[in-house]
Amino acid sequence: MIENQIFTKSIRYIQRKIKDILDKVSQENIDKVKDLFFNSKRIFVYGAGRSGLVAKAFAIRLVHLGFQTFVIGETITAPVQKGDLAVIISGSGETIPAVMTAEIAHNLEAYVISITAKKNSEIAKFADITFYISSGCDEEERKRYAPLGTLFEASVWILLDGLIAYLLDSKKETEEVMRSRHATLEQ
């Protein structure tokens, strides 16, 4: 019974750090981002590993909201063009595929939003807006209760779900309309 205190301590630690991180998100950025979504032709999302899963979860909701959305790396995608928006999630902000994706999208005159845990990262150079998702941590505690990119990934997941609620409200739509855009043949 005592042993599983690790589980309880971990989920409490993760929740506490998510709060710290999200409390620091710039409100001004959120408004600019909302405008970018409504002023872009199409949305592209990218991430690798668990960040890629967070990107896909966001993409699914964007489809539910009626945005034309593509996941970079999936079977069905499209060439990025001027006026599109690319959302790139990379904890390190330095991995080559993420930085290349940002650079190419930027050079094609698409808008770029980067979400990263690293200040002054390479990826931010090509981004119109960067969300800096991080929080000071005691490293011993973090490694034990939230190893590797755990805090970054969970925080970005919730950040993007909050953005979905904001976009839903801005479109004056409802959960029912979202549901009607849900896949009927999903396996």
Residues recognised as catalytic: 153
Integer Cα distance of 145 and 147 in angstroms: 6
What's the min distance (Å) between Cβ of 120 and its own copies?
23
Other beta carbons less than 10 A from residue 33's beta carbon = 20
Smallest separation (angstroms) from its own copies to the CB of 97: 5
* Closest approach of its own copies to the CB of residue 61, in Å: 8
Indicate the DSSP class of residue 64. Answer: H
Q: What angle do CA 182, 185, 187 make, to 5 degrees?
A: 105
Nearer to its own copies, 130 or 155 (CB): 155
SS (H, E, C) 151-174: HHHHHHHHHHHHHHHHHHHHCCCC
Q: Looking at beta carbons only, is 120 or 174 nearer to its own copies?
A: 174
Nearer to its own copies, 11 or 120 (CB): 11
Residue placing its CB nearer to its own copies in the complex, 120 or 182: 182
What is the b/e burial string over 53-63, where b = at least 16 CB atoms within 10 angstroms of the residue's CB? ebbeebbebbb
Neighbours of 144 (CB within 10 A): 13
Please report how close the Cβ of residue 28 comes to its own copies at its closest, in angstroms: 9
Which element (helix H / strand E) includes 183? Answer: none
